[in-house]
């Protein structure tokens, strides 16, 4: 197969890992770090040579048109791959920084030495600057006759701010800060959001790694690219929104895109071009403001993380402004950054739904190295982990806030699901419904949930799971819609308290509610359903076949049996499984339409 060339960009998946693999296979003599590759991919060129889909060589060219790296895997040496790469990129590489023993090779490729070689420490690794000698040079500005390092020493410090990348902008706007190279992929995502419609990005970063400062500078960078852009910034509390809004306004003013007189408050300001920023918490409403971009930073804190009601409010707010995020008929970017707290936090929910790009940064990488050793090295991290473990033996804080892998209390009760590709073809099945009644009467109300399935022998094949927040007047309509769609059968439900009265009302309206007395707590009631689930007696459609499946499985995995948890779907599943598969916590007693009856249901 002929040699092929691929230009890698920041959007290319695993671009850095591909470069490193080639360099390692070539036993490249120099250090090729993430920063160097990022700079080349962002403002220069990164090109790999492939054969049969395998990367064999790579070349890096920086933003000053200098070829800084040429590497070919040892297994492909002597086949002309290096020469082919140089020929392919010559028009982009005016200069080449070449180690002494490769000068002859580059002379054959059309480069000439410029100045004296630069000698490395202890006399090692002499580097020769070389310049392209082809006829295209006359179109370029004449080279000033200075030292060989002159082209490499040209600084970007005087470049206008809008022309800088976010990584370079940060120390320009805030000289007390350095470029956060450990967050290069997050910076790249912010930059891509300025030019690609509808970017949806998630990023978890360990605490104390400058994620907020980087994100605030990222908002300023977005305004520098388009000062008319109107951005909503959301964080966990009104107090935090005020503090970060004040800092953001200072940064924007320093960069020349800050507020104008008369449009200058911490919570909402506009610049001379009409763009600006609105800061808010999830509990606040900014419904009347435009949203061209939504940036979310730590939307929940430690006090809210274990409160299912607050998690629900935060998720609803983010979803609402995500839907409103639009400009000129195209969806705007939504970027969510946080140190995680809970599996059911905004990142966890969106990962279960799909459609979001995810950047994951544990504080310790899989190979045992520190994520950002210049921020926290391994000895310091080990010391901190030991200190945290004294107060948190189960290390929930460590895994959530620093490893980005939040662990719920206890182990998963519902194990991996059993999927079905298609329903059995034999007859004799029965339809079954399980419901958990709830209606909206206050903020934080529970959800109405319904599980519908078919019974084949001793197995329950789930057809659909619904979860809604409904007004009481809509419960009847929703139940009738389910019965019309799948067939009339008892709607089984464990009940106590107000639900009993609601069920009687629905029965009078023609809904076949089969109430079962909830004698025990939900964890005890769920035990037989958990066993059936883990034994493969309850099956769900394959993940890609129904939109509700990922969210249902995600919430099922979070079930711990706490009375205040949002596990309405689990309650509905337990109701139908106990009723139609037998052995529930009611000793087989149910009440259907006011009279004791055995299970009937629609037969197929």
d(CA 102, CA 452) in angstroms, rounded, equals 71
CATH fold of the domain at 4-153? Aminopeptidase (3.40.630)
Which H or E element spans position 140? none
User: CA 136, CA 144: separation in Å to the nearest integer?
Assistant: 18
For residue 150, pLDDT over 60 is answered with no
Read off the pLDDT band of 39 (50, 70, 90): confident
pLDDT of 137 above 80: no
pLDDT digits (tens, 9 = 90+) for 488-512: 999 999 987 777 878 888 899 899 9
d(CA 544, CA 538): 18
Assess whether pLDDT exceeds 50 at residue 142. no
Q: Is the pLDDT of residue 278 over 90?
A: yes
Torsion of CA 153, 159, 163, 166, to 10 degrees: 70
Instruction: Quote the pLDDT of residue 410.
Output: 58
Q: What is the pLDDT of residues 551-580, one digit of tens each?
A: 899 889 888 877 666 788 999 999 999 999
Domain at 162-361: CATH architecture: 3-Layer(aba) Sandwich (3.40)
Name the range with the highest mean pLDDT among 178-182, 198-202, 390-394.
Answer: 198-202
Q: Given pLDDT bands bounded at 50, 70 and 90, which one contains residue 120?
A: low
Mean pLDDT for 516-524 is 83
> What is the pLDDT at residue 426?
87
Spatial contact of 463 and 545, defined as CB atoms under 8 Å apart = no
**pLDDT score for 564:** 64
Taking only the tens place, the pLDDT of each residue in 316-343 is 999 999 999 999 999 999 999 999 998 8
Segment 421-434, tens digit of pLDDT = 999 998 889 999 99
pLDDT of residue 583: 57
> CA 128, CA 159: separation in Å to the nearest integer?
28
What are the structural domain ranges in the chain? 4-153, 162-361, 418-592
Mean pLDDT, residues 587-604: 43
Residue of higher predicted confidence among 381 and 439: 381
pLDDT (average), residues 117-145 = 58
**4-153 shares its CATH topology with 418-592:** no
Token pair belonging to 318: 């983010």
Quote the mean pLDDT of the chain: 85
Contact 236, 302 (CB under 8 A): no
Range 500-525 average pLDDT = 86
- Residue 321's pLDDT is what? 95
Does 57 score more than 60 pLDDT?
A: yes
Q: What is the pLDDT of residue 339?
A: 95
d(CA 98, CA 33) in angstroms, rounded, equals 18
Query: What pLDDT is attached to residue 446?
Result: 66
Output the CA–CA distances (angstroms, integers) from residue 414 to 75, 274, 323, 408, 506, in the order listed: 49, 52, 32, 13, 32
Q: What is the pLDDT of residue 593?
A: 39
Q: Which helix (H) or strand (E) holds 93?
A: none
- Please say whether the beta carbons of 281 and 290 come within 8 A: no
User: Is pLDDT at 532 greater than 90 in this prediction?
Assistant: yes
Q: Which residue has the tokens 């079962």?
A: 516
Residue reference for tokens 């606040």? 284
Whole-angstrom CA distances from 55 to 13, 52, 224 are 14, 9, 37
| Per-residue confidence band for 407, with pLDDT thresholds at 50, 70 and 90 | confident
Residues with Cβ within 8 Å of 126's Cβ and at least 6 positions away in sequence, in order, are 99, 100, 117, 118, 119, 120
Classify domain 418-592 at the CATH class level.
alpha beta
CB 63 within 8 A of CB 93: no
Residue 266 confidence (pLDDT) above 60? yes
Query: Would the pLDDT of 598 be above 60?
Result: no
- Non-local (6+) Cβ contacts of 61 within 8 A are 40, 44, 45, 46, 47, 67, 68, 89, 92, 93
pLDDT at residue number 447: 80
**Would you state the pLDDT for residue 590?**
41
pLDDT band, residue 604 (cuts 50/70/90): low
256 Cβ contact list (under 8 Å, min separation 6): 161, 224
Range 194-211 average pLDDT: 95
Tell which residue, 353, 335, 331, 356, has the closest CA to residue 344.
Answer: 353
């Amino acid at each position: 197969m002929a040699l092929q060339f691929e230009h890698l960009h920041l959007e290319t998946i695993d671009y850095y890992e591909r470069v490193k693999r080639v360099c390692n296979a070539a036993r490249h003599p120099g250090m090729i770090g993430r920063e160097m590759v990022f700079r080349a991919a962002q403002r220069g060129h990164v090109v790999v040579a492939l054969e049969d889909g395998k990367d064999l060589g790579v070349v890096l060219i920086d933003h000053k048109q200098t070829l800084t790296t040429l590497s070919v895997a040892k297994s492909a040496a002597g086949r002309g791959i290096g020469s082919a790469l140089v020929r392919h990129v010559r028009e982009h590489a005016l200069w080449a920084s070449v180690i002494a023993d490769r000068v002859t090779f580059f002379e054959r490729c059309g480069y000439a030495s410029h100045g004296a070689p630069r000698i490395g420490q202890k006399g090692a690794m002499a580097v020769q600057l070389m310049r392209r000698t082809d006829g295209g040079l006359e179109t370029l500005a004449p080279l000033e006759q200075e030292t060989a390092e002159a082209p490499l020493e040209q600084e970007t410090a005087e470049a206008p701010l809008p022309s800088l990348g976010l990584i370079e902008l940060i120390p320009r706007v805030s000289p007390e800060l350095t470029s956060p190279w450990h967050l290069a992929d997050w910076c790249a995502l912010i930059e891509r959001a300025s030019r690609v419609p509808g970017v949806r990005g998630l990023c978890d970063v360990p605490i104390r790694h400058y994620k907020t400062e980087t994100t605030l500078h990222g908002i300023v960078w977005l305004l520098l690219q388009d000062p008319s852009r109107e951005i909503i910034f959301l964080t966990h509390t009104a107090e935090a929104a005020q503090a970060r809004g004040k800092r953001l306004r200072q940064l924007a003013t320093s960069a020349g895109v800050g507020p104008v007189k008369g449009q200058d408050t911490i919570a909402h300001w506009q610049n001379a071009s009409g763009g600006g920023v609105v800061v808010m918490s999830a509990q606040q409403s900014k419904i009347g403001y435009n949203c061209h971009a939504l940036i979310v930073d730590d939307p929940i804190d430690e006090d809210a993380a274990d409160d299912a009601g607050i998690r629900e409010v935060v998720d609803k707010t983010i979803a609402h402004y995500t839907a409103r995020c639009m400009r000129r008929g195209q969806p705007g970017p939504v970027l969510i950054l946080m140190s995680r707290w809970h599996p059911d936090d905004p990142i966890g929910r969106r990962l279960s739904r799909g459609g979001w790009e995810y950047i994951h940064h544990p504080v310790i990488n899989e190979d045992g190295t520190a994520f950002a050793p210049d921020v926290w090295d391994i000895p310091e991290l080990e010391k901190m982990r030991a200190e945290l473990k004294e107060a948190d033996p189960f290390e929930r804080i460590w895994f959530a806030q620093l490893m980005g892998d939040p662990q719920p209390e206890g182990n998963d009760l519902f194990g991996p699901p059993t999927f079905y590709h298609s329903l059995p073809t034999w007859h004799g099945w029965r339809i079954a419904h399980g419901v958990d009644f709830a209606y909206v009467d206050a903020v934080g109300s529970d959800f109405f949930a319904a599980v519908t399935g078919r019974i084949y022998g001793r197995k329950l094949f789930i057809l659909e799971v619904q979860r809604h927040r409904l007004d009481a007047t809509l419960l009847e309509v929703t139940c009738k819609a389910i019965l019309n769609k799948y067939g009339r059968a008892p709607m089984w439900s464990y009940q106590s308290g107000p639900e009993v009265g609601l069920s009687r009302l629905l029965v009078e309206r023609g809904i076949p509610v089969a109430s079962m007395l909830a004698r025990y707590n939900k964890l005890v009631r769920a035990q037989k359903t958990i066993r059936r689930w883990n034994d493969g007696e309850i099956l769900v459609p394959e993940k890609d076949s129904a939109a509700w499946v990922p969210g249902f499985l995600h919430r099922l995995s979070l079930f711990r049996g706490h009375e205040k948890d949002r596990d309405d779907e689990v309650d509905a599943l337990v109701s139908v499984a106990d009723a139609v598969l037998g052995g529930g916590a009611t000793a087989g007693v149910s009440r259907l339409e006011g009279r004791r009856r055995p299970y009937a249901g629609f037969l197929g």
